[in-house]
Amino acid sequence: MIGLGLIGGSVMRAAAAAGREVFGYNRSVESVQAATADGFDATENLDDALRRASDERALIVLAVPVPALPLMLDHIRRTAPDCSLTDVTSVKGAVLQEVRSFGLLDRFVGGHPMAGTAHSGWEAGDAQLFVGAPWVVSVDDHVDPDVWVQVSLLALDCGAVVVPARSDEHDTAAATISHLPHLLAEALAATAGEVPLAFALAAGSFRDGTRVAATAPDLVRAMCEANADQLLPVLDQALERLHHARELLAGHQPLTDFVDQGHAARVRYDSFTRPDIVTTVVGAPGWREELAAAGRAGGVIRSALPVLGTRE
Ligand code: NAD
């Protein structure tokens, strides 16, 4: 594990609970000491961790924010270039580009566990964080079947369900269901912050609508800024809807369409089903395209898929 914050620390705990050997690096001594005190194998020496990863042919998991990736990838390129590599970052296209620029694409399969809290750091970690959560494992054109299986098994061991997706499609969806909510939550919280009495009356609607505004600002900036190209079109769509609502209100017109469309979409989400993906043979001709299509249709992987050339 490279980075032992909320997500890295949670993966470390969950992987260890599943019986895996897991060791990690964190840049701050305090977090390394806290992890060690909790019984985990951690160091603040990145090259020591990477040398060990190389010796043990470990799967390296990058769990640092996007701006920290170039430094980590540079060390990996020099010390552990043959290790399988994944990440947990909330944007996939930007990470793919970075990994490619460091010449590490061959052994890389991007990942994104769709779970989190507004808290940060080792103390915030939780072995149960990923239970039942979707964990995107990318099926981009370059993806190697062996590495894909390693990354998927890690996600399954952490209790997640695997959603296969291409990085570009992930980024458009993540812009809509994660990065846009962050922008809306910041705007809502700041707006209420200017209104006298608002906090005194605030209850469920305000709490739920602004929950993610409590996330560490650097993390919010890192994910929204790194996914700006995908975020802009969905932000425009949301603004268009809000402008429409504004016009209706200003003209004392009913909000019928605006509210009905939102309500209908939310009801559809509540009844959204996730069919199991069970038949795709990893490594067989067209397996990546088949998984991307199944993921797009809402499919999830709940247990290991058959792999070409094995008996299972
Ligand atoms: P966190 O702040 O809890 O942990 C970040 C970790 O990165 C810490 O270990 C920190 O020491 C390390 N780090 C930061 N900058 C560094 C640098 N320059 N050099 C070396 N290490 C550095 O954050 P987190 O929530 O665990 O986020 C980590 C990754 O997980 C991010 O890429 C984020 O996009 C992704 N993610 C977050 C959530 C969430 O809800 N917070 C959910 C899914 C994925």
89 CB within 6 A, ligand 1: yes
6-165+274-297 and 171-271 share one fold: no
Atom of ligand 1 nearest to the CA of 122: 3
Q: Check residue 311 and give its pLDDT.
A: 61
Question: 284 C-alpha vs ligand 1 centroid, how far in Å?
Answer: 35
Task: Please give the CATH number for the structural domain made up of 6-165+274-297.
Answer: 3.40.50.720
Rounded to whole angstroms, what are the CA distances from 142 to 85, 95, 147, 160, 310? 13, 14, 11, 24, 22
Per-residue confidence at 228, pLDDT binned at 50, 70, 90?
A: very high
Question: 144 C-alpha vs ligand 1 centroid, how far in Å?
Answer: 26
Q: Check residue 185 and give its pLDDT.
A: 98
Give the predicted TM-score (pTM) of the model: 0.90
Question: 205 C-alpha vs ligand 1 centroid, how far in Å?
Answer: 28
Atom of ligand 1 nearest to the CA of 65: 32
> What is the rounded average pLDDT of the residues 197-209?
97
Report the distance separating Cα 181 and Cα 202, nearest Å. 19
Q: Confirm if 99 and 93 have CB atoms less than 8 A apart.
A: no
Atom of ligand 1 nearest to the CA of 114: 43
List pLDDT tens digits, range 44-68. Answer: 999 999 999 999 999 999 999 989 9
The contacts of residue 203 (CB under 8 Å, 6+ apart) are none
Q: In the chain, pLDDT over 70 holds for what percent of residues?
A: 99
Q: Check residue 190 and give its pLDDT.
A: 98
Largest CA distance in the chain: 70
Task: Count the helix, strand and coil residues of the chain and give each as a percent rounded to the nearest 5.
Answer: 55, 10, 35
Q: Could you state, in order of their start, the residue ranges of all structural domains in the chain?
A: 6-165+274-297, 171-271
Exposed/middle/buried for residue 40 (C-beta within 10 Å: 0-12, 13-18, 19+) = buried
Q: Check residue 116 and give its pLDDT.
A: 87
- Strand partners of residue 164: 137
Question: 89 C-alpha vs ligand 1 centroid, how far in Å?
Answer: 8
Q: At what angle do helices 69-79 and 93-101 cross, to 10 degrees?
A: 40
Task: Please give the CATH number for the structural domain made up of 171-271.
Answer: 1.10.3660.10
Atom of ligand 1 nearest to the CA of 8: 26
Per-residue confidence at 117, pLDDT binned at 50, 70, 90?
A: confident
